[in-house]
Amino acid sequence: MPGFIQVLYYYFFSSQVHRSVVYGEQPRNRLDLYIPAGTTGLKPVVAFVTGGAWIIGYKGWGALLGRRLAERGILVACIDYRNFPQGTIGDMVEDVSRGISFVCNNIASYGGDPERIYLVGQSAGAHIAACTLVNQAISECGEDTSTWSVVQLKAYFGISGGYNLLNLVDHFHRRGLYRSVFLSIMEGEESLKKFSPEVVVKEVAVRSAVSLLPRIILFHGTADCSMPSAESEAFLDALQQRGARADLFLYEGKTHTDLFLQDPLRGGRDKMLEEIVAVIQNDDPGLSAQHLAVPVARRLVPEFMLRLAGRVSPF
């Protein structure tokens, strides 16, 4: 709570945060923008899809990441989407695709560079974003009529994601996301393959689509009990077998929420954030020189509280 209060204050009262920008006509078709302060010229952009077990996702969950990236001169768009039961996985993918389209076509008016857009997803958001990315690549191999293209994305970062639903049904059931509920979210057992990016990229028919994908970089903690790190390892293997540019960073002993929540709240060095920023900076040396002097983030929560939260967290 001490850390959340500070982040919430920033979220609701900072002039850098533009909340609930409308990107579509469906419920929850809104996104939050985190605008870097004191920078000139067009900024690189991160389109971020938050997690939440497909049920409790919310754009506000990206406030801490948005703040940290904005401090480094990177504009962040946190995309909200319909959750279950308001929508099922097909609706979520549709919403995220529409949000990405909005970012690609409108971000310049907010100071973002449409030539430097990166997609980031965390947990369920990593799964939804990966589905959206793969589906878009497949569409572009046919008669595509969408308003954005995968070539507009410089890279995709997947944080603690699950990419093969066939392997996760029983796992989630044991952890409390019961089979009947999960299958309802995923539009029935017959749709599990369709919404499993790892399975889809292995299909011979989509080989040409895989070649369109941007660089894919996956992050996962080895102590993740909610979404096993084997998910990212298997997805990496499937992508590399098809010739995609893909990398994986495993963090020893890190849980499902450590990378996205506890580590940023601890302050100090954030290895995953540094990896993301390094990729963006390598594409923009000017950004690197301008923001090398960003101060080390201060601790927001005492360590004993973080450890206690880790013990009681359902994730």
Mark whether 313 is an active-site residue. Answer: no
Check: CB of residue 156 under 8 Å from CB of residue 232.
no
Average pLDDT of the chain is 93
Sequence letter at residue 71: E
Q: For 72, phi and psi rounded to 5 degrees?
A: -105, 20
Q: pLDDT tens digits for 25-83?
A: 998 999 999 999 887 789 999 999 999 999 999 999 999 999 999 999 999 999 999 99
176: left (phi over 0), alpha (psi -120 to 50) or beta: left
Q: pLDDT tens digits for 79-110?
A: 999 999 999 999 999 999 999 999 999 999 99
Confidence of residue 289 (pLDDT cuts 50, 70, 90): low
pLDDT of residue 145: 72
Residue 132, domain CATH: 3.40.50.1820
Q: Is the pLDDT of residue 117 over 60?
A: yes
Q: Give CA 140 to chain center in angstroms.
A: 22
pLDDT of residue 118: 98
Q: Is the pLDDT of residue 292 over 60?
A: no
Rg of the chain on CA atoms, in Å: 18
Given the residues 80, 95, 127, 256, select the one marked as catalytic.
256
Q: pLDDT tens digits for 239-283?
A: 999 999 999 999 999 999 999 999 999 988 899 999 999 999 998
Check: CB of residue 135 under 8 Å from CB of residue 127.
no
Range of the structural domain that residue 197 is part of: 3-312
Residue 86: count other Cβ atoms within 10 Å of its Cβ: 13
Given the residues 97, 123, 226, 229, select the one marked as catalytic.
123
Say how many domains are in the chain: 1
Confidence of residue 287 (pLDDT cuts 50, 70, 90): low
Q: pLDDT tens digits for 185-227?
A: 999 999 999 999 999 999 978 888 999 999 999 999 999 999 9
Mark whether 291 is an active-site residue. Answer: no
Q: Residue range 154-172: average pLDDT?
A: 97
Given the residues 95, 224, 258, 263, select the one marked as catalytic.
224
